[in-house]
Chain A
Amino acid sequence: MATATYEAIATQTLVGSAATVTFSSIASTYTDLVLVASNGTTSGSVSTTLRVNGDSGSNYSTTSLEGNGSSATSQRQSNADKAYIVGFQAASYSSPYISIINFMNYANTSVYKTFLSRSSSNAASTYVNLWRSTSAITSIELTATGTNFSTGSTFTLYGIKAE
């Protein structure tokens, strides 16, 4: 069977609200993963975090660059129990927002895992995260911090395979 370079792995569309969305049993056959989230929240606040492999230890860090319409800011968080993808500082935003998260070399067991993302919400943002583990990523859990993802939110996971 021919292998596509850019391949859809799984999609979840919420019927009803949910606090978390999880992709599990992710195969190690790709080079990078791309997760595209298009979602709202029931409270109207914007703050999406993620964990991988169920790790809730203080093994994540985040650096952001954001423009919220009035100023450009950059923030950091080290030794955290989650990685921030959207809304480093939770804010109100009633419209759907987008996250495009690249998990670079996610199955490489010799490196810590770096995520690069951009998001569109109450701010135009880009983030880099570090997960301090050399384990291959086999599951990804997104959480709407302090609220729930709303009905109709969609999350699609793609794999990119280098030759």
Chain B
Amino acid sequence: MATNYTQIGLTANVGSGGASSISFTSIPNTYTDLIVKVSTRWDSNSDGFSYIRFNSDSGSNYSYRVLYGDPQTSSSGSVSSSGTDKAVSGGSQWAAWTSSTFGNMEIYIPNYAGSTYKSFSGDGVGENNATQTYPVLSAGYWNSTSAITSITLLQASGAFVQYSTASLYGILKS
């Protein structure tokens, strides 16, 4: 049977000017699931999380639950929020951490084109040649039954730096 694990569109590559966000638009509804693979770095240090929005919706339509590790304190923790204007997708890569180092994150969005409310699973890490970093698992939710046609990756503040990349893949069911 036919099968697809296919990159959709071009990889987003952030140039020398940086980028406040990375977006994939005009996502076709012909796949079953979406996977976003993200390798990014910030120019700030204000938040341990990376974020995601769908269909340019910046209303209070997101919620999330997060599991994170804190190697500095040898502990793990969890936070949540609802009615937010974006959802946590994974961990982040701070500007203060080891240079030339970029985070590694994957976001899995099943049934993105269906008519049910949208949930996703994210896992993302930043790295650092020191003990401070935050591996993150995220359970996210977008309170909309619309098909996802665009995805925006962003931070709480600051911008993605040069060489940050993101790739979008479509998975097709039988």
Contact of B120 among A120, A126, A156 (CB under 8 A): A120
Least distance between A31 CB and chain B CB atoms (Å): 15
In the complex, which residue of chain B has the Cβ closest to the Cβ of A156?
B173
Interchain CB contact under 8 A, A72 and B121: no
Say whether chain A's binding surface is mostly helix, strand, loop, or mixed: strand
Interchain CB contact under 8 A, B5 and A6: yes
B interface residues, how many (CB within 8 angstroms) = 38
Given contacts A67-B65, A96-B119, A156-B32, is CB(A72)–CB(B174) below 8 Å? no
Interchain CB contact under 8 A, B111 and A38: yes
Contact of A95 among B79, B108, B117, B122 (CB under 8 A): B117
Given contacts A36-B33, A36-B110, A124-B65, is CB(A158)–CB(B119) below 8 Å? no
Q: Which residues of A contact B174 (CB under 8 A)?
A: 8-11, 156
Say whether chain B's binding surface is mostly helix, strand, loop, or mixed: strand
Contact of B67 among A4, A9, A67 (CB under 8 A): A67
- Whether B99 is near chain A, meaning CB under 8 Å from some CB there, is no
Given contacts A66-B67, A70-B80, is CB(A118)–CB(B121) below 8 Å? yes
Given contacts A4-B3, A8-B1, A71-B77, is CB(A98)–CB(B110) below 8 Å? yes
